[in-house]
Chain A
Amino acid sequence: MTSKIPVISIRNLTKTYQMGEVAVHALRSVSLDINAGEFVTVVGPSGSGKSTLMHILGCLDQPSRGQYFLDGKDVSRLSDDEVSSVRNSKIGFVFQGFNLLTRTSALENVELPLLYGANPVSASERRNRAMAALAAVGLESRYEHHTNQLSGGQQQRVAIARALLNNPSILLADEPTGNLDSRTSVEVMDIFQSLKEERGITIVLITHEPDVAAYGSRIIAFKDGVITADELNGQRRTARGELAEIPEVVQETA
């Protein structure tokens, strides 16, 4: 594993915001390597800088100082169009607030990444691929539903299907279970764990709950913009097993 180039490699990453007259140091010279196939959970209280880290990892934001190599490439040297292309093909996002387009069907939301891909995709192929992605998260029967007609767990599964559509190498999840009840949270974690096991996708998951962080294979603790702990997780929780024990509170109706 060590001989390979890390998927994500950051060096002395610093991010400072100017909030009025106060300078907020969200990240203070953070260095980190993440290898392919790792399920990294970043845990820390709110304001610890973990969300800023994720935004920079996802090429949504630029660091004030320091370097970020994605697959060995310095992201800061890429043009805006190239960065867009990276977001489109290499990175999948899952947000706490789902970030689905409102008044738009689940299918259309999932199709979205194909609209902005480097190669044009025909409408029928878009549909087929989006349907397959929906089926993978168990929502193929609800493809026509608008996002506001879906439950929180279903919306998050649509978002995951969208994030996975272009087969990204990295999945970035920012508090993906923050708005979900405990059973659906475990369901979502089950999806993540199986993605890591079955597809070898690198996952970086941000959470403020140590419970959730325990699903990862490696846990990084964050506080005040610096890494306070970084260790492999020996007592990994497995969502699949827990699911069987939790009674279904909400009866899903198709």
Chain B
Amino acid sequence: MLTTSLRIAQKALKRNKLRTGLAILGMTIGVAAVLTMFALGTGAQESVSADVRSAGTTLIFVRSGNFTRGGEESRIPTGMGSTNSLVPADADAIAKIDGVKYVSANVKERTWVETSNQRFYTQIVGADVAYPDEYGWTFQKGKFFKESDVASAAQVAVIGSSLRDHLFGDENPVGKEVQLHNQPYRVVGVFESKDDEQADLAIIPYTTAQKQLGTSSIQMVTVSAEQAGDTTRISDAIKTLLRSRHHLDNQITQPTGGVALGGLQLPGAGSGGATPDDFTVKTQSSEALTKGLNTSVAAFILANMPQMDQTNSQEMAGTLSRAGSTMTALLAAIATISLIVGGIGIMNIMLVSVTERTREIGIRRAIGARQSDVLQQFLVEAVSLSVFGGIFGIIIGFAAALTITNVLHWPATISFTAVALAFGIAAATGVFFGFYPARRASQLSPIDALRYE
């Protein structure tokens, strides 16, 4: 019976092609608008969250030494051998803190990277395997080194895309050798970073860097939190953890000089003048804020903005989610309006069709069609209109999303869910707006329908 209804519907719809086309067009525009909006919304959300990821607001840097103390204990942040208070086991312990996603131990130095005919002075970072994930690096050639390379302190290196340009030009460096301190390192990968400064880096296993420098300590632990708003809490947890691991609270209290600086608190100074931290914990946003400042100035700024990271990241997350929900509401409104307009178009056409075909309904009823047969026939017709509209709408939506991406360079992503949803909504609109005309058709009295002129 359904196939029969489909055939009757096909015939009826073909009979008045212009009208059918216009009804379908209304639905097409509705579905295409919904799909395009969805694509733009999803794309925008993805690119925003990608920006947030690459901005690295989730990063926390734990460095050995307390150079922010300034004055009597001041240290040079990038210098080697400042202290040897941090060890790889600290990194492992930090990794167990709740909310921590990645941890990478770091040993850094600046030196020459050489090939047979080129040399370039740059920063060498000894790192663990999670390092590229923390910064969201992508690999155009090769891969990052593996855990086994870290375990065996293998002489392998991963270089940034711009360092590759300096040393190798357009050549593929994977498998080739570079020299660090006259030691051969095999290049295993080339990474791309959104941060230009990172594109000059060479990364080697931190164990290899330790061997090179003859140390068992590490200079830094790069920690990334699961959530942006969580960095302050994790920073505090790291401080507590490291103080306990380094037995700082058990030591005899040392008097610290210059505490009373206008009532301002010094960072890292435990309550009641306990032993100062032998490490520094900074979130990436605080690092960005104090970049280039004199360490003492930076210390005061940070000490008086204890909630800065949290506020920043929470505000950002809040703004993003508000923007997101505004967008969603807007999309939903546009979707609803366009679908209602499309649905009304279908309803209008179906009402006209029912009136026009009153006599046909009468004939079918006289021949034995039940009310449900007539209802089904007109419902199938309405749903056919909306489903065809849905199909064309999806095609046009795809085309629009592609055009927007290519011409305007806005990100637009069409997911299978969006397509399925658009299609489902189209069919549902057909049923909803087709039901009233179909019901009206089915409830016509046979004799009145037959007599209708």
Chain A residues near B (Cβ < 8 Å)? 55, 58, 60-61, 80-81, 84-85, 87-89, 93, 95, 99-101, 103-104, 112-113, 115-117, 120, 162, 166
Q: Besides the contacts A58-B366, A100-B363, A115-B1, what 4 more A-B pairs have beta carbons closer than 8 Å?
A: A84-B371, A87-B365, A87-B446, A103-B15
Task: Identify which of A81, A89, A99 contacts B363 (C-beta below 8 A).
Answer: A99
Q: With an 8 A cutoff between CB atoms, is B370 at the interface?
A: yes
Which of B1, B360, B368, B450 lies in contact with A84, CB distance below 8 A? Answer: B368
* CB-defined contacts of A84 to chain B, threshold 8 Å: 365, 368-371
Alpha-carbon gap, A120 to B4, bound state (A) = 11
Find chain B residues with CB under 8 A from A116 CB. 364, 367-370, 373
Q: How far is the CA of A103 from the CA of B15 in the complex (A)?
A: 9
Q: Check B364–A99 contact: CB distance below 8 A.
A: no
Q: How many Å lie between the Cα of A94 and that of B4 in the bound state?
A: 24
- A122 CB to closest chain B CB (Å) equals 11
Tell whether, in the assembled complex, residue B367 and residue A162 are in contact, meaning their CB atoms are under 8 Å apart: yes
> Which chain B residue lies CB-closest to A126?
B4
In contact, B369 and A61 (Cβ under 8 angstroms) = no
Contacts of B363 in A (CB 8 A): 99-101, 112
B447 at the interface (CB under 8 A from A): yes
CA distance A85 to B366 in the complex (A): 10
With beta carbons under 8 angstroms apart, the residue of A81, A99, A103, A104 that contacts B366 is A99
Smallest CB gap from B359: residue in A: A99
Instruction: Specify the main secondary structure of chain B where it touches its partner.
Output: helix
CB-based closest 4 A-B pairs? A88-B368, A116-B368, A84-B370, A60-B447
CA distance A100 to B364 in the complex (A): 10
Task: List chain B residues, Cβ under 8 A from A113.
Answer: 367-368
Residue of B nearest to A98 (CB): B363
Question: Known contacts A55-B447, A120-B1; is A88 also within 8 Å of B367 by CB?
Answer: yes
Name which residue of chain A comes closest to B363, CB basis. Answer: A99
- Closest B-chain residue to A104, C-beta based? B11
List B359-387 residues whose CB lies under 8 Å from chain A: 359-360, 362-373
In the assembly, what is the distance between CA of A115 and CA of B376, in Å? 13
Residue among B363, B365, B366, B450 with max Cβ neighbours from chain A (10 Å): B366
CA A99 to CA B234, docked complex, whole Å: 83
Can you identify 16 A-B contacts, CB atoms within 8 angstroms?
Answer: A60-B365, A60-B446, A61-B445, A61-B446, A80-B370, A81-B371, A87-B366, A87-B446, A88-B367, A99-B359, A99-B366, A99-B450, A100-B363, A103-B15, A115-B4, A116-B367
- Tell me which residues across on chain B come within 8 A of A89, comparing CB atoms: 368
Shortest distance between the CB of B401 and any CB in chain A (Å)? 41
> Which residues from B are CB-within-8-Å of A88?
367-369
Q: When the two chains form their complex, are residues B371 and A112 in contact, meaning their CB atoms are under 8 A apart?
A: no
Residues of chain A lying within 8 A (CB to CB) of residue B365: 60, 84, 87
**Nearest-CB distance from B368 to chain A (Å)?**
2
Interface string of B3-27 (1 = CB under 8 A from A): 0100000010001000000000000
A115's nearest neighbour on chain B, judged by CB, is B4
Which residues between 330 and 373 of chain B lie within 8 Å of chain A, taking CB atoms?
A: 359-360, 362-373
Q: Report yes or no: B447 in contact with A81, Cβ–Cβ below 8 A.
A: no
Which residue of the partner chain A has the closest CB to B449? Answer: A60
Alpha-carbon separation in the docked complex, A99 to B359 (Å) = 8
Contacting residues, chain A, for B450 (C-beta < 8 A): 60, 95, 99
* In the complex, residue of chain A having the shortest beta-carbon distance to the beta carbon of B360: A101
In the complex, what residues of A have CB within 8 A of residue B364's CB? Answer: 112, 116
- Which residues of B from 398 to 453 have beta carbons under 8 Å from A? 445-447, 450
Bound Cα distance from A103 to B372, whole angstroms = 24
Q: Is the CB of A112 within 8 A of B15?
A: no
CB-based contact B366/A93 at 8 Å: yes
* Chain B residue, CB-CB nearest to A88: B368
Nearest Cβ distance between residue B420 and chain A, in whole angstroms? 32
- Given contacts A61-B447, A103-B15, are A87 and B367 in contact (CB under 8 A)? yes
CA distance A95 to B359 in the complex (A): 13
**How far is A188 from B57 in the complex, measured between Cα atoms in Å?**
91
- What is the chain B residue whose CB lies nearest that of A56? B447
CB-CB under 8 A from A93, the residues of chain B are 366-367
Q: Give chain A nearest CB distance to B47 CB in angstroms.
A: 54
- Check B368 against A87 for contact (C-beta < 8 Å): yes
Closest Cβ of chain A to B102, distance in Å, is 64
Chain A, Cβ-Cβ closest to B14: A103
A59 to chain B, nearest CB (A): 8
* A81-B370 contact given A60-B447, A60-B450, CB 8 Å threshold: yes
A139 to chain B, nearest CB (A): 18
Task: Give the chain B neighbours of A55 by CB distance below 8 A.
Answer: 447
Chain B 158-197, CB-CB to A under 8 Å as 1, else 0, gives: 0000000000000000000000000000000000000000
Complex interface: chain B residues within 8 A of A117 (CB): 368
Give the Cβ gap from A110 to chain B, nearest Cβ, in Å. Answer: 11
Nearest-neighbor residue (CB-CB) of A166 within chain B: B368
Report chain B residues within 8 Å CB of A101. 360, 363
CA distance A104 to B7 in the complex (A): 12
| Chain A residue at smallest Cβ distance from B370 | A84
